Amino acid sequence: MEHFYRDTWVEVDLDAIEQNVTNALRLYKDREMNLMAVVKANGYGHGAVEVSQAALRAGASYLSVAFLDEALALRKAGIDAPILVMGLVDAEHVQLAIKHRITLTVYQLDWLEQAISRLHTRDKLAIHLKLDTGMGRIGLRREEDIRSCMDFISSHECFELEGVFTHFATADEKDLTYFKKQCQRFNQWLEYIREWQLPIRYVHCGNSAAGLRFPEKNFNMFRFGIAMYGLTPSPEITDELPFPLKQAFSLKSRLSNVKKLPKGEGISYGATYVTEGAEWIGTLPIGYADGWIRHHSNAGGHVLIDGKRAPFVGLICMDQCMIRLPKKHSIGDTVTLIGESDGKQITMDEVAKRLNTINYEIPCVISWRVPRIYFRDGQIISVKNNLL
């Protein structure tokens, strides 16, 4: 097990990840459904290897990442499950993908032509064809382009068209007008693709929101990202989710200094906070270089200490920040920045709201300077410290 010596860390509850996957698959217990665990961005900041292993234990059958390096990192860690790269991989790297059995996303005829010049006759490159039904990001958008790609794929045996997919822009909203338009387009474009009668193993469109809210819209696979980590795809649909999600990520630190200050003393750069009376001020060894950005203090953020709230005071520094304690505490006392303390909670959604952003962004930006501790059955099973 790796070690770390600093007093700030992330705890990842792998049981929560497993539970979220199990509950999601239970929605589909009466029919075939494959769950693709989305572990891009190092598992939304949780740690891609550990999250992948937990998801696979709980029944996930596929993994997906954003780019090739992320897929290779999983292989290097000994993960054997199929992996889809959902973003563009330059055609010059197809041999690397074949060597490591990595599935690539395809949506351009040019790309297919470039790839073919790098493939040997016996090669089999697994691909998923991406359709842009309204996300406006990547994917085929026109019938004639879909047809020319299908012609090319079907006439070259080294391509194995294993999947077809699209991505929704608004599956997490109450208003379903745009979502339905995307579904309709996807169905129509799948009709064109079926004319080639290729055996396509996976058809997938759903992200967490669609996978949980609209089981009937998902074909035989959905891509489970944010909700696997126990976070809602958006606050406006939390009440519609079919089971309570269990948040896996907590962020904790320990007081590195405690002092009582009289009224009128300045705190941190610019001395923008001045004590309003006699106050207990605590220092935490976490700062913006850990992803705990300066706005946390400006926006009126809190931490929990023994279940009590304590506000940030003064600007957040690169490696440290200050809080106003509800009472005298000792150096070394634990503080919760995200997660539970004595039955009280600071949720990812609270933190996201504070920073005017979405919950997805918060664990992603807690930097890898902060070690991750992995729990299973209440026991620490591993520790990741990227520094040593």
Ligand X SMILES: *Cc1c(COP(=O)(O)O)cnc(C)c1O
Candidates 40, 130, 252, 384; catalytic one: 40
Which alpha helices (DSSP H) does 195-228 contain, by range? 208-213
Q: Pairing mode, if any, of strands 257-261 and 266-267?
A: unpaired
- What's the min distance (Å) between Cβ of 64 and ligand X? 7
Distances in whole angstroms, Cα of residue 35 to Cα of each of 19, 120, 204: 13, 32, 10
In the DSSP assignment, the letter for residue 237 is G
Quick one: tokens of 214? 């609209």
Rg (CA), the chain: 24
In the DSSP assignment, the letter for residue 140 is B
Q: What angle do CA 186, 225, 388 make, to 5 degrees?
A: 140
In the bound state, the residue with its beta carbon closest to ligand X is: 225
- What's the min distance (Å) between Cβ of 233 and ligand X? 5
CB atoms within 10 A of CB 7: 17
Residue 40 falls in the annotated catalytic set: yes
**Beta carbons within 8 Å of 187's beta carbon, 6+ residues apart:** none
Q: Would you call 287 exposed, middle or buried from its count of C-beta atoms within 10 A (0-12, 13-18, 19+)?
A: buried
What angle, rounded to 10 degrees, do the helices at 68-76 and 48-57 form?
Answer: 70
Candidates 99, 124, 269, 344; catalytic one: 269
CB 192 within 8 A of CB 143: yes
Collapsing DSSP to helix, strand or coil, 219 comes out as coil
Residue 269 falls in the annotated catalytic set: yes
Q: How far apart are CA 84 and CA 231, in angstroms?
A: 23
Question: Between 208 and 320, whose beta carbon lies closer to ligand X?
Answer: 208
- What's the min distance (Å) between Cβ of 200 and ligand X? 18
- What's the min distance (Å) between Cβ of 306 and ligand X? 34
Q: How far apart are CA 300 and CA 285, in angstroms?
A: 19
Quick one: tokens of 238? 């939390």
Q: Would you call 298 exposed, middle or buried from its count of C-beta atoms within 10 A (0-12, 13-18, 19+)?
A: middle
- What's the min distance (Å) between Cβ of 65 and ligand X? 9
Question: Between 151 and 240, whose beta carbon lies closer to ligand X?
Answer: 240
| Residues binding ligand X (CB under 6 A) | 38, 40, 86, 167, 207-209, 223-226, 233
Q: How far apart are CA 51 and CA 99, in angstroms?
A: 24
CB 157 within 8 A of CB 219: no
**Beta carbons within 8 Å of 357's beta carbon, 6+ residues apart:** none
Which alpha helices (DSSP H) does 158-245 contain, by range? 177-194, 208-213
Question: Between 24 and 303, whose beta carbon lies closer to ligand X?
Answer: 24
Question: Between 167 and 384, whose beta carbon lies closer to ligand X?
Answer: 167
- What's the min distance (Å) between Cβ of 209 and ligand X? 6
Q: Annotated catalytic sites, by residue?
A: 40, 269
